[in-house]
Structure 1
Amino acid sequence: MNFEESDINFDRIDWRQFEELCFDLLMKYQYHDMIWHQGSADGGRDIEGLSTVINPLLGSYTEKWFFECKFYTGGVPMDELVSKIGWATAHRVKHFVLITNTHPTKDTWDYLNKTQEMASFKIHVIDGKKIKLRLLAFPDLIVKYFADDTVAWVKNLVRQWLFQKALPEVKTLARLAEIVDPAKFAKEELVFLMMAYQSSDYDEDDLPIDFEPFDFDFLWPEIVKYENEKYPINLNDVFLSQDRDWLHLRLMSSTIEQLDEFAFAMQHEIDDVGHIQITLRRTGKQFAVKIAINKPQP
């Protein structure tokens, strides 16, 4: 799943969601004992947490951090931070961090720089550019807060399948074939889409008159990027008690469903890439995929 800065559009969220985003991001960076003081409509109050520092000489110790999450359409004004800096001073924190979707104003920068000269703690600023760069390391957060409608739609289809055992209809698949950008999805969603297409009752001759023939072969170039298994995949591990092998796999794909378990396997050939095997196994409300490639010999 590949995202760019342009995929992070702060116009899609409000100040409450921005605070929650900051909290989730800090958790990713392993801050702990977090307290989220949910703020008011001016952009929120603060988050406080601890960071454990490991020093080879002194061992481990914790530091207290205060975070201010400011969601603005323009620059963050100085007046927003004066009382916060005083509060951080009174509580003897080690670090004070301003996180904003935009940037501090010039007066705010001047104030923070002068304050740093006298403060007993470090002052840090994560502006809109920096927070986007941090978020690119965590695609799950981008999906959670900024995913476009197509990504959200596919994720809902996956959940519908996991909880209701219902796969998308042919009309839905036809629409997805028109709008899906494979680079926006993880391997699980890509293999799910391929499985849904292969498991459907798609028949080119039975399509409604206003539907063009379609397939999901455009997913393969992205799927192969997620190779995660040694070739060949052991089908007995996928289908468990089923006696399956790739040689006798009918029509290049096969599925089996019983009780709360489901398994799917498929193989495909791409020139200059090789022979591809993909499997999907669902147990309960979770599923895992395997992707293996037998690359052509030079």
Structure 2
Amino acid sequence: MVNDEAMPYDDLTDTEFEEFCFELMKELGFVNVDWRKGTGLNASPADNGRDVVAERHITDIDGAVHVERWFVDCKKYTKGVPPEKIMGLLAWAGAERANVALVIASSFLSNPCKEYLKSYELNNRPPFRVKYWERPQLGKLLEGRDAFVSRYVDSRPRTEAEIVAAEEYRTDKLWYYRKQLLYHFVEIGQRPPLTSQEDKLIKDSMRFMEERHADDNGFLIEGDDHEAWNVAYLLGELSALRWVLGDDWNNGDS
């Protein structure tokens, strides 16, 4: 798979990506694989620095078998994973004597994160190996595993939580676009100026949306020749998602 090619896990939520990593470890031959999600929350505080714990049995040339214990931290990021997000994994790998600390990133580790790992290994000489699988490595690992991808990802029905999350995201996107359009109409004189109170309220809400979706390069609808098509497509998606959730057709409110 090419680095910028769409991956089968791209549309998964954080929790679903953890489950994908859990299933992938089993697919790769690891045993006693334990997904440590302790709550129903999207980001669980109960994993103690690792999302998955797995064992790998290794047979020596003389037939002796020894077991490696892997601690796995799964990071579903559209941007590079920052160093502070993998510190918990390293701390618990040392405290509980893991053999390998593995970060599985849906995209890439940031350069500061990679530099931090180099410095950590050089200065601390941990008793465990530090590994990370980024998008290219995951692409290689999935090559020839079409049955796994089809079984786990392609054929997986959408959960209600996933549908709700998709509807909320598109509602946010449409709401933000309409506020941009509002300011455009004010600027060209097709709408009366906003009061100072209205202006502050809307801009505060827009800043909240920008922070909420800061990692998503596709959140903004760009003002190019495809703008109208993008909005119409977005309205179609939103209507379909709301219909599945029990609403009437063609509800484009935001």
Q: Return the TM-score normalized by structure 1.
A: 0.45
Closer, same or farther in 2 for the Cα pair 1:113/1:4, shift >3 Å? Answer: closer
Closer, same or farther in 2 for the Cα pair 1:31/1:105, shift >3 Å? Answer: same
What CA distance in whole angstroms lies between the structure 1 residues aligned with 2:76 and 2:99?
Answer: 24
Tell me the equivalent position of 2:144: 137
Tell me the equivalent position of 2:33: 34
Deviation at 1:4, TM superposition (A): 7.7
Paired letter, 1:50: E
Paired letter, 1:21: F
Closer, same or farther in 2 for the Cα pair 1:92/1:51, shift >3 Å? Answer: same
What CA distance in whole angstroms lies between the structure 1 residues aligned with 2:73 and 2:156?
Answer: 29
Deviation at 1:78, TM superposition (A): 0.7
| 2:51 is the alignment partner of 1:46 | yes
For residues 258-298 of structure 1, the C-alpha deviation after alignment (integer angstroms, 9 at most, x for no partner) is: xxxxxxxxxxxxxxxxxxxxxxxxxxxxxxxxxxxxxxxxx
Paired residues of 1:4 and 1:136 also in contact (CA < 8 A) = no
Deviation at 1:57, TM superposition (A): 3.2
What CA distance in whole angstroms lies between the structure 2 residues aligned with 1:94 and 1:75?
Answer: 25
Tell me the equivalent position of 2:111: 106
Consecutive unaligned residues of structure 2, counting only runs of 5 or more, are 158-254
Deviation at 1:10, TM superposition (A): 3.5
Deviation at 1:136, TM superposition (A): 2.1
For residues 188-233 of structure 1, the C-alpha deviation after alignment (integer angstroms, 9 at most, x for no partner) is: xxxxxxxxxxxxxxxxxxxxxxxxxxxxxxxxxxxxxxxxxxxxxx
Tell me the equivalent position of 1:127: 134
Consecutive unaligned residues of structure 1, counting only runs of 5 or more, are 154-298
Correspondent of 1:70 among 63, 67, 75:
75
Tell me the equivalent position of 2:223: none
Task: Report the structure, 1 or 2, having the larger strand content.
Answer: 1
For residues 71-116 of structure 1, the C-alpha deviation after alignment (integer angstroms, 9 at most, x for no partner) is: 1121111111112201110011111110010111111101111222
What CA distance in whole angstroms lies between the structure 1 residues aligned with 2:73 and 2:10?
Answer: 19
What CA distance in whole angstroms lies between the structure 2 residues aligned with 1:61 and 1:51?
Answer: 8
Closer, same or farther in 2 for the Cα pair 1:152/1:121, shift >3 Å? Answer: closer
Give 3-state SS (helix, strand or coil) of 1:143's partner.
helix
Which of the pair has more CA radius of gyration? 1
Deviation at 1:25, TM superposition (A): 0.9
Aligned-residue Cα RMSD (Å) equals: 2.6
Deviation at 1:16, TM superposition (A): 1.3
Paired letter, 1:138: R
Give 3-state SS (helix, strand or coil) of 1:64's partner.
strand
Identity of aligned residues (%): 21
Paired residues of 2:9 and 2:20 also in contact (CA < 8 A) = no
Q: Return the TM-score normalized by structure 2.
A: 0.52
Number of aligned residue pairs: 148
What CA distance in whole angstroms lies between the structure 1 residues aligned with 2:55 and 2:36?
Answer: 15
What CA distance in whole angstroms lies between the structure 1 residues aligned with 2:77 and 2:153?
Answer: 17
